[in-house]
Amino acid sequence: MYYNYFPDIQNVIIVRHLVTEAPVQKIKTIPTVTIEKMLVDLYSDIDFEYLQGNELSFIFKNAFSKYTINENKLLRYANRKGKKEKIIDFIKNL
């Protein structure tokens, strides 16, 4: 959980437990999450509930326009979290 003790700091790092079968990638031998995992987590996790509505739509639109999103990987992980159908509908309505 992130608490802003330093309001003047712009960069934030959130550390969370890794769910089994979560999509990861290695960058210089360091395991990191993929954009697909971040999007599914933003959509489905209670920690990011404050991003619901227009803000979440804005994030998804920007991600799909600026990055190559592997939709199969995104939907497989969404299915693992029980959100596949809801995310499909969400993306169709963007």
Over the chain (94 residues), the average pLDDT of each successive run of 10 is 54 73 89 93 90 91 97 96 96 94
DSSP H helical segments within 1-83, as ranges? 35-44, 54-66, 71-80
**Helix 84-92 crosses helix 35-44 at what angle (to 10 degrees)?**
100
Q: Cα separation of 75 and 85, whole Å?
A: 9
Q: What is the pLDDT of residue 23?
A: 92
Q: What is the pLDDT of residue 8?
A: 58
Q: What is the pLDDT of residue 44?
A: 93
Q: What is the pLDDT of residue 1?
A: 46
| Total-model pTM | 0.81
Tokens representing 25? Answer: 């990638």
Residue corresponding to tokens 């992980």: 77
